[in-house]
Amino acid sequence: MNRPPLICYSFPLLLSLLFLPPSISHTTVHPSPIPSDDSLQQCLLKNSVPNTLIFTPKSTNFTATLLSSAQSRRIIFDNRSPKPFLIITPTQESHAQAAVLCSKHLKFQLLTRSGGHDYEGLSYSTNFSPFFILDLFNLRSISFSADNTIWVQSGATLGELYFSIASKSRTLAFPAGFCPTVGVGGHISGGGIGTIMREHGIAADHVVNIRIIDANGDILERETMGEDLFWALRGGGGASFGVILAYKIKLVQVPPKVTVFSKTLTLSPGTTKAIAKWQQVAYRADKRLYISVTLTVVSKTVQTTFNGLFLGEMTELLSIMKQSLPELQVTDKDCKEMSWIESLLVFSTYPTPNINSSLPLSSLLDRSPILLGISFKVKSDIVTEPIVEQSWEEIWKYILKEDELLVMIIEPLGGKVAEIAETETPFPHRNGSKFVIQYVAVWLEAGQKATRKNTDWLRGFYYFMAPFVSKKPRAAYLNFRDLDLGKNNKRFAPLFSKGSKMGDPASSKIPSEDHPAQRSEVPKRTQKAPKADDVISTVTEDSFISFRKKFHFPNDLVMKVPARTDRACFPPPGYVTVYEFSLRAGLRFPPSSELIDILMI
């Protein structure tokens, strides 16, 4: 039995389901026949969604509901971004089914929101209009089984999950992130790294079943969806395939006592040596030990904080640190023993955990947005070889040259993460991947000028870091969403076609640096002579060089021979288009910069 064709522009991220085998429906809701001019709200009402769960711009609580778990001021207060047609807050799975089917029937884009922590706001903002939000915060039940498995609905936060686990046992845990307001739905589907991953693996490694609504409104579980889709949902991003309703996860054992430590150093030659040594130790240390580094630009210097969690007692930790990382000079004054759940309260004050935190356990239940008062932009990298001391000195010079506020969070991989095969789940950062870097540019000023200034600076720094991180391809972590790496256009088909080639072992081509995280094959270039009407840019060589120096772009950014195939002209060797450079540098050029602008270098 074949599935009916999917209307891609009504729910584009479900395109992949077209190529999955047919499956059996558990529960199906069929929308009543309605005139094409009926509203989305009427479609939902006719399919048994109570009006009290639907919020339109005319509703008193519409804005409050929209902001309830929106974490990015840069996104939510951008007047250029369209607002949702409505928000539906389902209390039953059938309400979510109706949302999917009405979206498909009326050609609306559907955004699914769990915790609202998508760094690019893709769970509540889009350029595809009309759209509406399926906010799952009412679907957050957590049920335990005797075999230490849990069914947790996607609308629950990590804090709510951890609180429930602690209520049952202080020696059971789940290896996921430490920010309590992150939604379970998106976090697990993107992989889910955290402080005990080196001992137990990432969150997606512990998923044993999933409930998902597909494009036809059917609810599937592991047996009926098939192993290919089940594989994809554990690290490949759930929104690409449907609406994830719940995960069945396996808990892990932790000791009654763990040890947390935090050590802060100011920038000095000794600090640089400590970071260099930490890189040699952190990813291959005792699997029970997690040590991250947070670098923060403060008062024209770099504050370096080493944050650690050890699944054991303090005396054993101090012995390990003295032997493997004496440069940090960690003492008992830097450490504190506590339960695993208490360690999450400490790390929830990131990026500078307070080991003497007195936050009550109930604070894990607070779903209030914690980032809405600031604007930020995030990029990420995977490090496969330690960065040498001399390179760190170059990094210090770069980030201290300007006034931008930058936070770099570097987390070690290795341990259990590296022991699991790269093909086991879509999370590819296994053996050979040593660290995850998160670059966070933060600013308090409002408006597009401040946004442009800070995001452009971060993009320049990201390209400055290229020689020090993974290559061919340059990798990134899916949960640290970054639209600079590529995004859908309104026609979908071209990017879907490219995506279908990702990971093809037969491809020996190297991805272009425009989208460094992609593994798709780069098409062979069609060689064409420049046309007579090609427009030569009025930008001079001197002004171009000045421009490059202003933004600190390394020389290897500029290509002698263009490598892209999807632009309006094909200049001869020795030329590069402004458009080409803008893509590689991650900068936004004014509309006057046409694709056929050519700049001789």
- pLDDT tens digit string along 330-353? 999 999 999 999 999 999 887 677
Looking at the fold, whether 286 and 415 belong to one and the same domain comes out as yes
**CA quadruple 228, 230, 233, 236: dihedral sign:** negative
- Confidence band (pLDDT; 50, 70, 90) for 127? confident
Does any domain span residue 175? yes
pLDDT of 38: 52
Determine contact, residues 468/435, Cβ cutoff 8 Å.
Answer: no
Looking at the fold, whether 61 and 83 belong to one and the same domain comes out as yes
Give the tokens for residue 449: 């000028």
Provide the CA 409 distance to its chain's centre, in angstroms: 14
Q: Is 144 exposed, middle or buried (0-12, 13-18, 19+ CB in 10 A)?
A: middle
pLDDT of 447: 86
How crowded is residue 402: how many other Cβ atoms within 10 Å of its Cβ?
15
Determine contact, residues 476/381, Cβ cutoff 8 Å.
Answer: yes
pLDDT of 402: 84
pLDDT of 372: 61
Q: Stretch 279-301: mean pLDDT, rounded?
A: 95
Three-state DSSP at 133 gives strand
Q: Stretch 299-325: mean pLDDT, rounded?
A: 96
Looking at the fold, whether 267 and 244 belong to one and the same domain comes out as no
CA distance 274 to 383: 18
Q: Stretch 73-94: mean pLDDT, rounded?
A: 88
Give the tokens for residue 351: 């990026």
Domain boundary among 453, 468, 483: 468
- pLDDT tens digit string along 372-416? 678 899 999 999 999 999 999 999 999 999 888 999 999 999 999
Question: Which are the contacts of 190, defined by CB distance < 8 A and separation ≥ 6?
Answer: 204, 235, 237, 238, 477, 478, 479
Looking at the fold, whether 285 and 366 belong to one and the same domain comes out as yes
Looking at the fold, whether 101 and 182 belong to one and the same domain comes out as no
Q: Which residue has the higher pLDDT, 14 or 403?
A: 403
Q: What percent of the chain has pLDDT over 70?
A: 74
Looking at the fold, whether 184 and 268 belong to one and the same domain comes out as no
Q: What is the pTM assigned to this prediction?
A: 0.77
- Domain residue limits at 311: 259-468
In order of 277, 391, 401, 579, the CA distances from 395 in angstroms are 17, 6, 10, 28
Looking at the fold, whether 348 and 246 belong to one and the same domain comes out as no
Looking at the fold, whether 131 and 239 belong to one and the same domain comes out as no
pLDDT of 494: 46
pLDDT of 504: 38
CA distance 538 to 329: 58
pLDDT of 505: 34
Of the listed ranges 142-146, 253-257, 475-479, 570-574, the least confidently predicted one is 570-574
How many domains would you assign to the chain?
A: 4
CA distance 27 to 244: 14
CA distance 400 to 556: 22
What is the domain-level CATH number for residue 249?
A: 3.30.465.10
Average pLDDT of every residue of the chain: 80
Looking at the fold, whether 247 and 297 belong to one and the same domain comes out as no
Determine contact, residues 247/152, Cβ cutoff 8 Å.
Answer: yes
Torsion of CA 597, 455, 112, 430, to 10 degrees: 100
In order of 9, 75, 117, 193, 515, the CA distances from 69 in angstroms are 26, 12, 8, 21, 29
pLDDT of 573: 40
Give the tokens for residue 201: 């693996």
Looking at the fold, whether 165 and 89 belong to one and the same domain comes out as no
Does any domain span residue 294? yes
Does any domain span residue 562? yes
Of the listed ranges 186-195, 279-288, 366-375, 399-408, the least confidently predicted one is 366-375
What is the domain-level CATH number for residue 36?
A: 3.30.43.10
- ∠ CA(323), CA(262), CA(465), 5° rounding? 85
CA distance 577 to 489: 22
Domain boundary among 224, 253, 282: 253
How crowded is residue 313: how many other Cβ atoms within 10 Å of its Cβ?
15
pLDDT of 359: 87
- pLDDT tens digit string along 431-457? 999 999 999 999 988 888 999 999 999
Question: Which are the contacts of 346, defined by CB distance < 8 A and separation ≥ 6?
Answer: 260, 336, 338, 353, 354, 355, 357
- Confidence band (pLDDT; 50, 70, 90) for 497? low
Does any domain span residue 192? yes
Does any domain span residue 269? yes
- Confidence band (pLDDT; 50, 70, 90) for 290? very high
- Confidence band (pLDDT; 50, 70, 90) for 514? very low
Question: Which are the contacts of 399, defined by CB distance < 8 A and separation ≥ 6?
Answer: 297, 302, 406, 461
- pLDDT tens digit string along 530-559? 333 333 344 444 554 555 454 444 444 443
- pLDDT tens digit string along 40-51? 999 999 999 999
CA distance 58 to 77: 19
Does any domain span residue 240? yes
Q: Stretch 173-198: mean pLDDT, rounded?
A: 96
How crowded is residue 282: how many other Cβ atoms within 10 Å of its Cβ?
26
Determine contact, residues 152/172, Cβ cutoff 8 Å.
Answer: no
Determine contact, residues 105/43, Cβ cutoff 8 Å.
Answer: yes
In order of 95, 228, 236, 501, 516, the CA distances from 521 in angstroms are 40, 22, 19, 6, 12
- pLDDT tens digit string along 462-495? 999 999 999 999 999 999 999 999 877 655 444 5
Does any domain span residue 172? yes
Domain boundary among 409, 441, 468: 468
Identify the DSSP state of 371. S
Does any domain span residue 536? no
Looking at the fold, whether 221 and 126 belong to one and the same domain comes out as no
- Confidence band (pLDDT; 50, 70, 90) for 371? low
Question: Which are the contacts of 557, defined by CB distance < 8 A and separation ≥ 6?
Answer: 463, 548, 581, 584, 585
What is the domain-level CATH number for residue 340?
A: 3.40.462.20
The amino acid present at 202, given as its one-letter code, is I
Looking at the fold, whether 95 and 120 belong to one and the same domain comes out as yes
pLDDT of 422: 94
pLDDT of 487: 77
